[in-house]
Amino acid sequence: MQKRILMAGISAAACITAATSASAVEIEYWQYIYDTRVEAMDQLIENFEEANPDITVEQVTFPYADYQTRIVAANMARKGPDVMQLFYGWADKFIEGNLIQPLPEDTFPAAQIEEEFFPIVSAMQRDGEYYGLPTAVRSLALFWNKDLFEEAGIDGPPETLDELVEYGKKLAVKNDAGNFETVGLTLDMAGQDHQWWREVLVRQMGGVPYNDDYSQVTYDDDAAGAEALEFYTNLQTEHGIGAAGFMDEGQAAFRAGRAAMTIDGTFRLGSFNSIEDFEWGVAELPANEEGVQSNYASYFANAIGSSAEGEELEASIKFLEYISSDEAMQIWLEVVGELPARREAAMTDANMNDPIYGPFLAALPYAHTTLFVDEAAQRQTAIDMANRVFLQDQAPADSVAEAAEQEQAIIDDARD
């Protein structure tokens, strides 16, 4: 009996060794479903497999709404991905939940990362260790409808906040009943406006939205937060440039040619590229009177799952190295339209002079990356903050104070 078990054991062991030596290492890469992203990744995988014939990469995708839950559930079942894409804002949760592991220092030295990438990658760093690297980054810009500008007799996009207001007033068109036909600028806190308010307007009014590690809300420490909110809500209440909720979403209004300007991110390029009815352009976000500029940049980073070990870990490191390379970034830019995360790949003359990518890229050196603990909940505090002014006539200063209190509670709750 014992002999038979021994024999079975030996033959099984022989089979396993034979199998591993004969077949390639297979690793899984996870990201959410977005046509161009999946397509770009397919291309990258093809290139990578060609260069590394002993490694197979399987791409697994999920709808965005399910994505985080799937990763967490898979990790609990010890079936997590080897390499995965995650929003930089999820980093704290993923590190705390032991979903991802730090990148090995020998392949990805911190000093080199900091030298070669845009400073915003620091959002993936904890205690000197990097937990992920982006292929591409996103920033905000002002999209402007060239046809509407021409009709209104305005030469180019506004460069300052004062010009933004001045042009906006000229561009907004109301019908006899007093309803907007066209808005000068879209007001959509649920879109990208909350980022514009947080990282751009607050700073331009002389404030700082958070402390250095984003553990303390500071936009209500001085008058800057309230001034920024007042500037924002005045666009609707004082200047009649736009109305929150016009055409449901800011991007929908712009697409339909009913908004002269909208603030949105690189990720919107894919959708706006199919606009045929009018010409549109991209400009850097307006500066304030003193010329202070700011922007909000964000990214999805690629990280190595905590379950990867042995030769799968080796393969994952190689794969991560490739998808963070200049070559991968150029492919990503061409297919997805997102900006390269490495300075060298991004700041080429061709890219900088590109009328579309140029303004987005120009913003990267001075952009900020908010370290959200719960982006949806923190966005909600900004939406409510504006709504209290619009719908309940609350004073901007009071509304900002209330928002700060709510947001601080969310941050404290997540960090304890």
Partner 1 sequence: MVHPTESDTIPTHPIQPAPRLSMRTRSAIWVWSFLAIPVLFYCVIRFYPTFNAFWLSLTDWDLMSDAEFIGFENYRRMFADPGFWQTFRNTFAYLIYGTPISLLIAFVVAYYLDRVRFAHNFLRALYFMPYITTAAAMAWVWRWFYQPPPTGLINSALGELGFGQIEFLGSTTNALPAIMVTAIWAGLGFQIIIFMAGLRAIPDTYYEAARIDGLGEWTILRKITLPLLKPTTVFLVVFISIAFLRIFDQVYNMTTNDPGGPLGSTKPLVLMIYQTAFSSYDMGYAAAQTVVLFTILLVVSLLQLWILRDRA
Contacting residues toward partner 1, per CB under 8 A: 68-69, 72-73, 76, 93-94, 96-99, 175, 177, 179-181, 188-191, 243-249, 258, 374, 376-377, 380, 383-384, 387-388, 391-392
- Long-range contacts (CB closer than 8 Å, 24 or more residues apart) made by 342-349: 342/116, 342/117, 342/118, 343/116, 343/117, 343/118, 344/116, 346/118
**Nearer CB in complex with partner 1: 12/256:** 256
**Nearer CB in complex with partner 1: 163/402:** 402
**Nearer CB in complex with partner 1: 74/336:** 74
**Nearer CB in complex with partner 1: 99/136:** 99
The span from the CA of 409 to the CA of 58, in Å, is 41
**Nearer CB in complex with partner 1: 190/292:** 190
DSSP 271-310: HHTT--SS-EEEEPPPB-TT----EE-EEEEEEEETT--H
Kindly give, in sequence order, each residue whose CB lies less than 8 Å from that of residue 373, ignoring residues fewer than 6 positions away: 89, 92, 93, 410, 411, 414, 415
Q: Which two tokens stand for residue 55?
A: 């490694």
**Nearer CB in complex with partner 1: 65/111:** 65
Other C-beta atoms lying within 10 Å of the C-beta of residue 112: 10
**Maximum CA pair distance of the chain?**
96
The span from the CA of 184 to the CA of 187, in Å, is 10
Q: How far is the CB of 323 from partner 1 (least distance, A)?
A: 25
Q: How far is the CB of 353 from partner 1 (least distance, A)?
A: 36
Query: How many residues can be counted in the chain?
Result: 416
Other C-beta atoms lying within 10 Å of the C-beta of residue 274: 7
Q: Which two tokens stand for residue 113?
A: 């990362």
Angle at the Cα of 13 from the Cα atoms of 12 and 18, rounded to 5 degrees: 100
Q: Assess contact for 45 and 267: CB atoms under 8 A.
A: no
**Nearer CB in complex with partner 1: 60/76:** 76
Q: How far is the CB of 285 from partner 1 (least distance, A)?
A: 22
The span from the CA of 73 to the CA of 92, in Å, is 17
Q: How far is the CB of 122 from partner 1 (least distance, A)?
A: 23
**Nearer CB in complex with partner 1: 223/377:** 377
Q: How far is the CB of 342 from partner 1 (least distance, A)?
A: 31
**Nearer CB in complex with partner 1: 236/288:** 236
Q: How far is the CB of 143 from partner 1 (least distance, A)?
A: 19
Other C-beta atoms lying within 10 Å of the C-beta of residue 150: 12
DSSP 345-401: HHS-HHHHH-TTHHHHHHHGGGEE----SSHHHHHHHHHHHHHHHHHH---HHHHHH
Q: How far is the CB of 14 from partner 1 (least distance, A)?
A: 39
Q: How far is the CB of 197 from partner 1 (least distance, A)?
A: 15
3-class SS letters over 167-223: HHHHHCEECCCCCEEEEEECCCHHHHHHHHHHHHHHHHCCCCCECCCCCCECCCCCC
Tell me the HSE value of 329 on the side-chain side, using a 13 A CA sphere: 26
Q: How far is the CB of 73 from partner 1 (least distance, A)?
A: 8
Tell me the HSE value of 146 on the side-chain side, using a 13 A CA sphere: 9
Q: How far is the CB of 303 from partner 1 (least distance, A)?
A: 14
